[in-house]
Amino acid sequence: MQACRRAAVERPVVRAGQMLLAAAALAWAAGCDAPTPPVATAQASAGQVRPPAAAAVTRYAAARFLEQASFGPTEAEIDRVRSLGYAAWIDEQLALPPTQLDGRTARHYDELADPRARQREYWNFQRQWYGAALAGRDQLRQRMAYALSQIVVISLVNNQPYGLFEYHNMLQRQAFGAYGVLLRSVSVHPAMGYFLDNVSNRSAKYCIGCAANENYARELMQLFSIGLVRLNLDGTPVRDAQGRPIETYTQQDVSDMARALTGWEYDYGSTSETYAFLGNTMLGTQPLLHDDDAKTVLGTAFPAGRTAPQELDQAIGVLMAHPNTAPFVSLRLIQRFTASDPSPAYVGRVAAVFRNDGRGAVGNLAAVVKAILLDPEARRGDAGTGDAASFGKVREPVLHTTGLLRGLGCRGLPYEPTTLQPWLPAMQEAYNAPSVFNFYAPTDRAPGSNLLAPEQALLNGLTFRSWISDLDHIQRNWVLSGVGCDLAPLVQAARRSPQDFIELVNQRWFRGALPGATRAALLAAWQNQTVPTMEERVTLVLSFALSSPAYGAAT
């Protein structure tokens, strides 16, 4: 994405150490300067990507690919992509086992006796989640699980930390499976039952005053599968004779879907651990809880006398057969990996793979993510030229943080030595969205533009203040080296010369293509520093660099 055209964002209003606001403004302007184009590598044939020979993948192209497919490039992973080529690297990643988090300590605590226990377990979750994102080998699986967590959303705002552990582990296991199987697993997961109230969804016949709870049924359709309006395969809306979008479902569909989803309850098992049930699949075995009368959902008859599991299976089958599901989910996954505003043709190619992976399977997420990453539109910018001005995505705070930390060699989150509080990005924490609608809507657009730019909703003064100032504060007061973060190479380069330091920043975080004007702004910022130590100067100027559009807009 061309940041100067795309990112109309609020500029910083804070000094970081001795950082000058004028220099900050200069760096933002510098983001419009074009990088030096590397050698082209990707080749297209008959509308599909023909993976290039491994030796033809430039360092720039490999780094760009990893910004899309991982939590940030590292030298080792860049070498791996260049050695294997894109397709073989993806295949290798698909074969790696999932990284599972250990939430056992979150299964039981007493908040009355220890009011900070829930907070500590949430920090434990974030430390493990980031530890896997920063140091795990299964980078593509983790990026897919993170992408799915922003589509089939649960959040700590209405959950317990153990639910986050187990839900994330489920998404990791299901990340490259069938989307229909994933939707069923989501539907019977107690963390989702807790979050969207389906565990309270009861047949009206169960008790006086009982009624179906429509919360989960509505979001299963609106947010997780088919959306509000009918779609063509390329994601464009189907319109009536007056040009108006046609709605996908009616209120009666929501009501009957909710009735089909009645009857699920927690499996408490035999343990006395307070939150252990959040690791057990919900049960649908009590006939009195389920509405087994006949229903009609999206034009499909649900006969009377069916059990809760049978009706859930039929409901998922109806959604997976719906023509909207492929383009609806494909667009959202493209947005999470490569482009906020993909062309209809790009969406259509990926949606076609969602509908049929070449072997007749529907919703094969492994095939879908491969299609997303190898599509000609995704790989067109590997040469550094020829990319559309609207392509790419704003780097959201979580990915900004992981990119920074992986570039520093961190294996975990820096933390405050007394409280052990981990450093989390301002405005966005994994699995802590304000609602089921996530931190931003897929339909959010750049200010003054018709271009989709969901992540830009998180770019404000607080975000930029954090990006500019946090690393310096943490370097001076928090634990960095204890989690593997290594500033020494940057400090050593800076002691040789400012130019050597800026070049190392260029290689680690800018694919070796730092724009000339940004490079000049960084040199000016370096010369304007009056902080007492080299470490402070390095962290301030690095933070300044990573707050520029050249880094913030991933193209």
pLDDT in tens, the chain (555 residues): 443 433 333 333 333 333 433 334 333 433 445 454 443 333 333 344 444 444 489 999 999 999 999 999 999 999 999 999 999 999 999 999 999 999 999 999 999 999 999 999 999 999 999 999 999 999 999 999 999 999 999 999 999 999 999 999 999 999 999 999 999 999 999 999 999 999 999 999 888 888 899 999 999 999 999 999 999 999 999 999 999 999 999 999 999 999 999 999 999 999 999 999 999 999 999 999 999 999 999 999 999 999 999 999 999 999 999 999 999 999 999 999 999 999 999 999 999 999 999 999 999 999 999 999 999 999 999 998 767 777 999 999 999 999 999 999 999 999 999 999 999 999 999 999 999 999 999 999 988 888 999 999 999 999 999 999 999 999 999 999 999 999 999 999 999 999 999 999 999 999 999 999 999 999 999 999 889 999 999 999 999 999 999 998 877
- Long-range CB pairs of 312-319 (<8 Å, 24+ gap) are 312/184, 312/187, 312/188, 312/260, 312/261, 312/284, 313/184, 314/260, 315/220, 315/257, 315/260, 315/261, 316/180, 316/183, 316/184, 316/187, 317/180, 319/180, 319/183, 319/220, 319/221, 319/225, 319/226
312-325 burial string, b = 16+ CB within 10 Å, else e?
bebbbebbbebbbb
Q: How many CA atoms lie within 13 A of 19 on its CB side?
A: 31
CA quadruple 97, 103, 107, 112: dihedral, nearest 10: -160
Q: Provide the token pair at 22.
A: 């004028």
CA quadruple 162, 165, 171, 173: dihedral, nearest 10: -110
Instruction: Tell me, rounded to whole angstroms, the distance of Cα 207 from its chain centroid.
Output: 41
Q: How far apart are CA 96 and CA 173, in angstroms?
A: 11
Tell me phi and psi for residue 426, to 5 degrees: -65, 140
pLDDT at 427: 94
Instruction: Classify residue 358 as exposed, middle or buried by CB count within 10 Å of its CB (0-12, 13-18, 19+).
Output: exposed
Q: Are 312 and 282 in contact (CB under 8 A)?
A: no
What is the pTM for the complete model shown? 0.91
Helices (H) and strands (E) in the chain, counts: 24, 6
Kindly report the number of other CB atoms within 10 A of residue 482's CB atom.
12
Q: Are 401 and 134 in contact (CB under 8 A)?
A: no
Q: Strand 43-45 and strand 393-394: pairing?
A: unpaired
User: How does DSSP assign 331-383, residue by residue?
Assistant: HHHHHHHT-SS--HHHHHHHHHHHH--SSS-SSBHHHHHHHHHHSHHHHGGGG
Q: Strand 43-45 and strand 300-302: pairing?
A: unpaired
Q: How far apart are CA 439 and CA 146, in angstroms?
A: 13
Length of the chain: 555
Instruction: Classify residue 336 as exposed, middle or buried by CB count within 10 Å of its CB (0-12, 13-18, 19+).
Output: buried
pLDDT at 203: 95
Q: Are 28 and 22 in contact (CB under 8 A)?
A: no
Instruction: Tell me, rounded to whole angstroms, the distance of Cα 550 from its chain centroid.
Output: 21
